[in-house]
Amino acid sequence: MAPVDACPQDGAGALSVEMLSRFAGPCPRYTSYPTADRFLPLEAGNSPAEPWRALRGSTSLSLYVHIPFCRSLCYFCACNKVITQQYGLVSSYIDRLLEEAHWYRDKVADLPVIQLHLGGGTPTFLTDADLRRLVSGLAEVFNLHPPGQVEYSVEADPRTLDPETLETLRELGFNRLSMGVQDFDPRVQQAINRVCDERSVANLTQAARACGFGSISYDLVYGLPHQSADTMRATVKKVLQLAPDRIALYHYAHLPARFKAQRLIDSDAMPSAQEKITMQLAALEELGAAGYQFLGMDHFALPHDELALAAREGRLRRNFQGYTLMPADALIGLGASAISYSADGYWQNHHRLKDYVERIRACGSAAYRGWTLSEDDRLRQHLVMELMCRMRLDKSDLADRAGGPFEKRFAEELRRLQPMFDCGLLRQDADSLYLTEEGRWFARNAASAFDSYLHSEADTGRYSRVL
């Protein structure tokens, strides 16, 4: 967490320009602890030789399948993707995915799969026939629970989605749809090379509801070229008319030195840091006025949504795909760059398509780096999860886990958190430490105070902003 030495004079405890300026700097997103950028080559240092061995001791499983292909390049994109028009490449990639699935067959036995997530890239790049081939191939290996009892979610690009594919996805059991909307402003869309009219999104939303998707989510992005508080407000108002169950409002980090695609964005069109904050506040105001409940990080849901209900009841959990209701105790990630975990730790596949394909052909697995969890990692993993999901820490529970009083074990961390206490973002009493209403926006900051790797070196430049 960036050091902060004084509170805003006015509005302390309220989400304000001052608060965002002080606390919303770069910080890990904590989809895992330790974060994936700490992973080491397999069999080197603190990396497990065969991390998947602990899969057998698990009781439930999540599956993530990475489809890296996209038809055209969105200039803001920092995802692991392959831009192609050649479908042959895609078809052979599915063959490799299924080979990788088979490699896990004897390692997972009959573990029930309670979540399946297709992410990308663009999962809806696949033809309906290949979507069927993929899911039926997975069902040959894994114990996929009957549709309706599990979360089957898919990320979709509205530019490559049609009502027929939605029907196919529903037939295959998918019940959650996430669409990358980003922004409805034509000038912004041109600047990021992602033109998609509102009517298509509206029609697809209607079609998804008609065929029974239980939850529809939109991704929005602020901080893009040509955006302002006014354009952001206008986009959010249009989105609200379509009433998606969930909304993710992501910050765009412009890092052209790191991501080649972003060099295609005119830097003169980029909003200033101050403008980003005002557009963010405008979006939050609109979402709040429309009744969306803040879940945590950059996620919102209508009060009827089961994630919103789970958040109110303290049942929300978090995994690599974000907030969830059904945390499995192990995850298998299939495909280029996919991450897996079990009770012992994490392992990740090669990022580059070529490396992934070669490794699968050679030995059935493309895992190349990972992390073995120490006892201290497990304690902090639990603590980070509690802060990100429940927004509070139970001191006696942590004292039991840590084998000593919370205040003593985490004295250094509490010192790092002092600015958040001073500004009314955090409070504590004898039983617990908790984020206040305003502090809930800054759960990442609070979690980062407990990240022993982050504080072992002065390097926070690799992470995205908090808000």
- Min dist CB 259 to ligand SF4, Å, is 10
Contacting residue, 63, 77, 134, 188, with ligand SF4 by CB under 6 A: 77
- Closer residue to ligand SF4 in complex, CB, 51/120: 120
- Closer residue to ligand SF4 in complex, CB, 160/381: 160
Span near ligand SF4 by CB under 6 A; candidates 116-124, 146-154, 165-173, 219-227: 116-124
Determine if 417 is a binding residue for ligand SF4 (CB under 6 A): no
Listed residue (134, 143, 90) closest to 115, CA to CA: 143
Span near ligand SF4 by CB under 6 A; candidates 70-78, 94-102, 219-227, 270-278: 70-78
Determine if 119 is a binding residue for ligand SF4 (CB under 6 A): no
Contacting residue, 120, 173, 225, 333, with ligand SF4 by CB under 6 A: 120
CB-hemisphere CA count at 13 Å for 354? 0
Determine if 74 is a binding residue for ligand SF4 (CB under 6 A): yes
- Min dist CB 74 to ligand SF4, Å, is 3
Determine if 326 is a binding residue for ligand SF4 (CB under 6 A): no
What are the respective helix, strand and coil percentages of the chain, to the nearest 5?
40, 20, 40
CA distance 30 to 45: 22
CA distance 62 to 332: 6
- Closer residue to ligand SF4 in complex, CB, 23/76: 76
- Closer residue to ligand SF4 in complex, CB, 262/342: 262
- Min dist CB 75 to ligand SF4, Å, is 9
How many secondary structure helices (H) and strands (E) does the chain include? Answer: 17, 21
Residues 6+ apart with CB under 8 A from 160: 71, 122, 124, 125
CA distance 38 to 24: 22
CA distance 443 to 34: 16
In the block, tokens 């004898």 appear at 430
- Closer residue to ligand SF4 in complex, CB, 122/445: 122
Q: What angle do CA 419, 425, 428 make, to 5 degrees?
A: 90
Determine if 225 is a binding residue for ligand SF4 (CB under 6 A): no
Determine if 298 is a binding residue for ligand SF4 (CB under 6 A): no
Span near ligand SF4 by CB under 6 A; candidates 75-83, 108-116, 229-237, 308-316: 75-83
Contacting residue, 122, 205, 217, 231, with ligand SF4 by CB under 6 A: 122
Contacting residue, 28, 48, 119, 121, with ligand SF4 by CB under 6 A: 121
Strands 432-435 and 426-428: antiparallel
Span near ligand SF4 by CB under 6 A; candidates 27-35, 103-111, 120-128, 426-434: 120-128
- Min dist CB 223 to ligand SF4, Å, is 14
Do the Cβ atoms of 261 and 231 come closer than 8 Å?
no
What is the CB neighbour count within 10 angstroms for residue 101? Answer: 22
In the block, tokens 């529970």 appear at 397
Determine if 117 is a binding residue for ligand SF4 (CB under 6 A): no
Determine if 398 is a binding residue for ligand SF4 (CB under 6 A): no
CA distance 447 to 32: 12
CA distance 156 to 208: 11
- Closer residue to ligand SF4 in complex, CB, 117/145: 117
- Min dist CB 80 to ligand SF4, Å, is 8
- Min dist CB 159 to ligand SF4, Å, is 8
What is the CB neighbour count within 10 angstroms for residue 288? Answer: 13
- Closer residue to ligand SF4 in complex, CB, 293/337: 337
Determine if 81 is a binding residue for ligand SF4 (CB under 6 A): yes
Residues 6+ apart with CB under 8 A from 324: 115, 151, 307, 316, 317, 318
CA distance 392 to 389: 8
Span near ligand SF4 by CB under 6 A; candidates 68-76, 145-153, 252-260, 354-362: 68-76
Determine if 392 is a binding residue for ligand SF4 (CB under 6 A): no
- Min dist CB 120 to ligand SF4, Å, is 6
Determine if 67 is a binding residue for ligand SF4 (CB under 6 A): no
CA distance 68 to 87: 12
Contacting residue, 73, 269, 309, 343, with ligand SF4 by CB under 6 A: 73
The b/e string for 210-240 (b: 16+ C-beta within 10 A; e otherwise) is eeebbbbbbbbbbbbbbbbbebbbbbbebbb
Listed residue (193, 206, 113) closest to 163, CA to CA: 206
- Closer residue to ligand SF4 in complex, CB, 250/347: 250
- Closer residue to ligand SF4 in complex, CB, 270/316: 270
Contacting residue, 20, 24, 42, 70, with ligand SF4 by CB under 6 A: 70
In the block, tokens 């509205």 appear at 158
Determine if 123 is a binding residue for ligand SF4 (CB under 6 A): no
In the complex, which residues of this chain contact ligand SF4 (CB under 6 A)?
Answer: 70, 73-74, 77, 79, 81, 120-122, 157, 180
